[in-house]
């Protein structure tokens, strides 16, 4: 089997939260071990607060792990000096849920796509590179000189995608990239991401609490619950034959024939913690392979 592009090994991330009357430690990730293989889309699902974004941010080195390591294409990223980290800032990109807050409101589409090209890529004409990237996502002509507020939500997400691809990355963390968009627009943006992956051999970590989108786009799916990886496997196998009690609960809640009901249940799931599921202590747990490549926490 080929080497993984990203290797996350026993990654733990704790946050200290100040509260009235003292401090509390939140363990957002608890010894998560997972690989992302070149060219695949690894879906990451789990309810709100399960650690999905923290996993993406820790891979991108936007969070410093409390323990464990992240290795990218054979180089351990944890502990690299800023200068050594620089090439990886080009090779790894991110697309967030809300392009309104990730785009600069006072810079044109062209300016914001050209900026990372100027900083991270050795291009003689960053504007030409930016125009190409924008044209690829469907934003062309004079529109490139418009500010974010002149675009629809779907178009703004296209600009964010153009900015991510303009520097020719290998790996993109997509953190709920379509969750804020209307259903019809969601499908278009998912298609665009898929086409770009095929054209450019991209690898995605695709975070979403929307299981139907993950089922459609992900090669493999990882399930996080309270910072733990409870199940991972080929998407078909995991959705057809979920093994962990939490995965079952997640799928039961949303895989109902009526999409409106599924959507409502999903919204409830993401805002309020589903009835808790017991987990074994970290030091006494193991992942067991139940089908080829399909592992469950026991």
Ligand X SMILES: Nc1ncnc2c1ncn2[C@@H]1O[C@H](COP(=O)(O)OP(=O)(O)OP(=O)(O)O)[C@@H](O)[C@H]1O
Q: Which is nearer to ligand X, 161 or 266 (CB)?
A: 266
Q: Which of 3, 24, 26, 252 touches ligand X (CB under 6 A)?
A: 26
Q: Is 96 exposed, middle or buried (0-12, 13-18, 19+ CB in 10 A)?
A: buried
Q: Is 298 one of the binding residues for ligand X (CB under 6 A)?
A: no
Q: Is 62 one of the binding residues for ligand X (CB under 6 A)?
A: no
Stretch that binds ligand X, among 46-54, 115-123, 166-174, 277-285 (CB under 6 A): 46-54
Residue ranges with strand state E in the chain: 6-19, 22-36, 41-45, 67-72, 75-76, 92-95, 171-175, 203-207, 220-225, 228-234, 287-291, 294-297
Q: How many residues bind ligand X (CB under 6 A)?
A: 14
Q: Is 24 one of the binding residues for ligand X (CB under 6 A)?
A: no
What is the SS3 assignment for 3-28?
CCCEEEEEEEEEEEEEECCEEEEEEE
Q: Is 102 one of the binding residues for Mg ion (CB under 5 A)?
A: no
Give the span between the Cα atoms of 251 and 249, in whole angstroms.
6
Residues 6+ apart with CB under 8 A from 66: 12, 13, 14
Give the span between the Cα atoms of 293 and 217, in whole angstroms.
18
CB 52 within 8 A of CB 44: yes
3-state helix, strand, coil in the chain (%, to 5): 40, 25, 30
Give the span between the Cα atoms of 45 and 48, in whole angstroms.
9
Shortest CB 31 distance to ligand X, Å: 15
Shortest CB 47 distance to ligand X, Å: 7
Q: Which of 24, 48, 84, 298 touches ligand X (CB under 6 A)?
A: 48
Q: Is 50 one of the binding residues for ligand X (CB under 6 A)?
A: yes
Stretch that binds Mg ion, among 47-55, 88-96, 112-120, 238-246 (CB under 5 A): 47-55
Residues 253-282 that bind ligand X (CB under 6 A): 270
Q: Which of 41, 50, 53, 235 touches Mg ion (CB under 5 A)?
A: 53
Q: Which does 288 bind (CB under 5 to 8 A by kind): ligand X, Mg ion, none?
A: none
Q: Which does 46 bind (CB under 5 to 8 A by kind): ligand X, Mg ion, none?
A: ligand X
Q: Which does 152 bind (CB under 5 to 8 A by kind): Mg ion, ligand X, none?
A: none
**Binding site residues, Mg ion, CB under 5 A:** 53
**Binding site residues, ligand X, CB under 6 A:** 15, 17, 26, 28, 46, 48-54, 209, 270
């Amino acid at each position: 089997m080929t080497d993984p592009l990203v290797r996350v090994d026993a990654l733990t991330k704790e946050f200290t939260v100040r509260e009235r009357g003292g401090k509390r430690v939140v363990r957002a990730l608890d010894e998560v071990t997972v690989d992302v293989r070149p060219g695949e889309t690894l879906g990451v699902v789990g309810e709100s607060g399960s650690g999905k974004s923290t996993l993406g941010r820790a891979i991108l080195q936007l969070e410093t792990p409390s323990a464990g390591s992240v290795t990218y294409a054979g180089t351990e990223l944890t502990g690299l000096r800023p200068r050594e980290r620089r090439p990886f800032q080009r090779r790894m990109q991110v697309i967030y849920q809300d392009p309104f807050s990730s785009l600069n409101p006072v810079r044109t589409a062209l300016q914001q796509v050209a900026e990372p090209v100027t900083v991270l890529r050795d291009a003689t004409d960053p504007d030409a590179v930016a125009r190409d990237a924008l044209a690829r996502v469907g934003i062309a002509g004079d529109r490139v000189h418009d500010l974010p507020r002149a675009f629809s939500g779907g178009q703004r997400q296209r600009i964010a995608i153009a900015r991510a691809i303009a520097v020719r990355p290998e790996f993109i963390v997509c953190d709920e990239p379509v969750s804020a968009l209307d259903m019809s627009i969601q499908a278009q943006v998912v298609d665009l991401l898929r086409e770009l992956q095929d054209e450019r051999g991209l690898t995605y970590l695709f975070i979403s609490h929307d299981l139907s989108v993950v089922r459609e786009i992900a090669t493999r799916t990882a399930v996080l619950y309270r910072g733990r990886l409870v199940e991972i496997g080929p998407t078909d196998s995991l959705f057809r034959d979920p093994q962990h009690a939490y995965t079952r609960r997640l799928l039961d809640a949303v895989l109902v024939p009526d999409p409106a009901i599924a959507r409502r249940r999903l919204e409830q799931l993401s805002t309020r913690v589903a009835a808790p599921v017991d987990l074994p202590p970290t030091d006494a747990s193991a992942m067991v392979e139940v089908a080829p490549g399909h592992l469950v926490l026991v």
